[in-house]
Structure 1
Amino acid sequence: MATNDAGNVHKTTEQAIHVLDAIRRGNGATISDLRSEFDLSRSTLYTHLNTLTDAGLVVRENGRYWVGTRFKEFSVAAENRKPSYQLVKNEIQYLEEEFEAETEFLVEEAGRVNVIYHSENIDHSRVRLHAHNTAAGKAILADLPDQRVEEILDRHGLPQQTANTITDRDELYDELATVAERGYAYNNSECFDGYHGIGATVNGIDGSILGAITLGGPIYRIPEKRLKNELVDALRNTIDEIEDSIESNRAIITSELASEK
């Protein structure tokens, strides 16, 4: 089978994934929509779409293709993959009510940060985020080895999403050094205008990064002074409690440890 030597990526599979993502981003798409975005023949597009439809990953209604509900099957499996994820969710659910702040738990996969839990209903465009302009992402980057950070930046770049987004590597590295020193990251309207938040990492059962927890909200509702004082203390205390809970439940989450084989 033909492969792309750069990263050993299969081109046909990659094309199908791009088509699927275009359908998601566009909240549905027609053949004309997809042909205008991709340099693919109509027959090739139909082959991708028929394959995805047959698998239940895409549905066709009224001449438009949509993401299929089968993806819920995959999202539930991903969220339940580690027992520790449920421990985290159990510990942070009270935070929004107590502090009137949006609460998130996110994990890094393939260089992006992905929402496992959010205290509010969010749009699909907010589920998978960049690392360089989010509190969770910067907290995770600050704890990763430099080589891994470079790999992530090489792959995903530093796209600008607001006027405050950091787009210079040296500036980002200075920011990550600050994050490592103070123990939490701050997102100053860098991902969404008018929204700020703080984030810090949680260690898993083996001591590696499990993910990051963030607290935040609109600037008009949560002043910066309160975010960086009261909510920082709440975040740190919650993470301590989560890591204690993970350790005390070690016997039931040993599946997360690396295999000895």
Structure 2
Amino acid sequence: MPESDYPVGSVATTVRIIEALNEFGEAGITDLSEQTGVSNSSVHKHLDTLQSLGYVRKDGTSYSLSLRFLGIGNEVRSQREVVQAAKPAVDSLSSTAGAVTNLMLVEHGYGVYAYRATGGASNMNSYLPVVGDRVHLHATAGGKAILSQMEWDEITEIIETNGLPKLTDKTIDSRDALRRELRSIQDRGLAFERGEHLPSVQCVAAPITTTDGPVGSISVSGSIDQMSGKKLEEDLAGLVVSTTNEIELELFRD
């Protein structure tokens, strides 16, 4: 397909060059030009850009893909493994609790809802973030559960990049308050959300951790009327912890 047929033609050209390099293993500009149908000068510009970004290595007149692609591939594979391991457990928890149950992963310092089961509580979907949405970690139970397993230096980097926006009057918006909250979460192994992301929603979450650190979290969400007191802090909390333990064992077996 000609470059002009793509919304961003230059991106399509870059991808063709990357795919050709992957096929060759190592190649020069002329070989890549012949393989992709892109002019020598254009191939050279794309390779220079990829090299400056760390995605391509140059040895003399030959180019090859760098190990940076390996890191990206491992990250994608890891996320897929977590989703596949978590799905049955999330479905089971949602059915038992009769409530919306979420799997959250981390991407670029934000929480991403990677999977959800409604447990018959379909009315909640009208105002909860949808699967694929990004949310601030500090304002959600799932996000705080993940943050509680990170080093403070890493958390500071996230704060400096994404900030601590105050989404409701109950959202934590200071570093000191967040640090105290995360210490409390570490002690009890659970994170609670009481109107911090959405005023009418409460939530309980626990982190999913492996030897590599936190990989996500499981949370159960509901309205303030549905979730409060013993139901939130004991009944659902216990189910959430049991579910994360089950997922961690499944990941360990894999």
Q: TM-score range by the shorter chain?
A: 0.5 to 0.7
CA distance in 1, matches of 2:129, 2:137: 18
Residue 224, structure 1, aligned to residue 222, structure 2: no
Counting aligned pairs with the same residue, the percent is: 28
Alignment match of 2:101 (pick from 96, 100, 103): 103
Alignment match of 1:203 (pick from 175, 198, 209): 209
2:148 is paired with a residue whose SS is helix
CA distance in 1, matches of 2:212, 2:174: 31
Q: Report how many aligned residue pairs link the two structures.
A: 180
Give the letter for the 1:99 counterpart: A
Q: What is the CA distance between 1:79 and its match in structure 2?
A: 8.9
Residue of structure 2 equivalent to 1:177: 183
2:113 is paired with a residue whose SS is strand
Backbone CA RMSD of aligned residues? 2.7
Give the letter for the 2:234 counterpart: N
Larger helix percent: 2
1:202 is paired with a residue whose SS is strand
Q: What is the CA distance between 1:247 and its match in structure 2?
A: 2.0
In structure 2, the CA distance between the partners of 1:240 and 1:80, relative to structure 1 (3 Å rule), is closer
CA distance in 2, matches of 1:245, 1:157: 34
Residue 236, structure 1, aligned to residue 241, structure 2: yes
CA distance in 1, matches of 2:159, 2:129: 25
Residue of structure 2 equivalent to 1:157: 163
The 8 Å contact of residues 112 and 131 in structure 2, kept in 1 or not, is answered as no
Q: What is the CA distance between 1:81 and its match in structure 2?
A: 4.8
Query: Which whole-Å deviations, capped at 9, do the CAs of 1:151-193 have from their partners, x for residues lacking one?
Result: 0011111111111111111111111111111111111110011
Residue 116, structure 1, aligned to residue 122, structure 2: no
In structure 2, the CA distance between the partners of 1:126 and 1:192, relative to structure 1 (3 Å rule), is farther
Which consecutive aligned stretches of 4+ in structure 1 deviate over 3 angstroms post-superposition? 77-81, 120-126
Residue 215, structure 1, aligned to residue 220, structure 2: yes
The 8 Å contact of residues 206 and 219 in structure 2, kept in 1 or not, is answered as yes
In structure 2, the CA distance between the partners of 1:102 and 1:184, relative to structure 1 (3 Å rule), is same
Q: What is the CA distance between 1:82 and its match in structure 2?
A: 2.6
Counting only pairs closer than 5 Å after superposition, residues 27-66 of structure 1 correspond to structure 2 as: 50-51=7-8
Q: What is the CA distance between 1:208 and its match in structure 2?
A: 2.0
The 8 Å contact of residues 132 and 166 in structure 1, kept in 2 or not, is answered as yes
Question: Please, what TM-score do these two structures have when normalized by structure 1?
Answer: 0.62
CA distance in 1, matches of 2:136, 2:102: 15
Give the letter for the 2:91 counterpart: Q
- Greater shift, 181-190 or 218-227, is seen at 218-227
Query: Which whole-Å deviations, capped at 9, do the CAs of 1:38-77 have from their partners, x for residues lacking one?
Result: xxxxxxxxxxx9538x97xxxxxxxxxxxxxxxxxxxxx9
1:166 is paired with a residue whose SS is coil
Alignment match of 1:127 (pick from 114, 125, 133): 133
Q: 5+ unaligned residues in a row in structure 2: which ranges?
A: 1-5, 13-74, 119-124
Residue 246, structure 1, aligned to residue 246, structure 2: no
2:208 is paired with a residue whose SS is strand
In structure 2, the CA distance between the partners of 1:123 and 1:145, relative to structure 1 (3 Å rule), is closer
The 8 Å contact of residues 190 and 206 in structure 2, kept in 1 or not, is answered as yes
In structure 2, the CA distance between the partners of 1:50 and 1:83, relative to structure 1 (3 Å rule), is closer
2:196 is paired with a residue whose SS is coil
1:105 is paired with a residue whose SS is strand
Q: What is the CA distance between 1:134 and its match in structure 2?
A: 0.4
Give the letter for the 1:51 counterpart: V
In structure 2, the CA distance between the partners of 1:238 and 1:125, relative to structure 1 (3 Å rule), is closer
Which protein is bigger by CA-based radius of gyration?
2
Residue of structure 2 equivalent to 1:189: 195
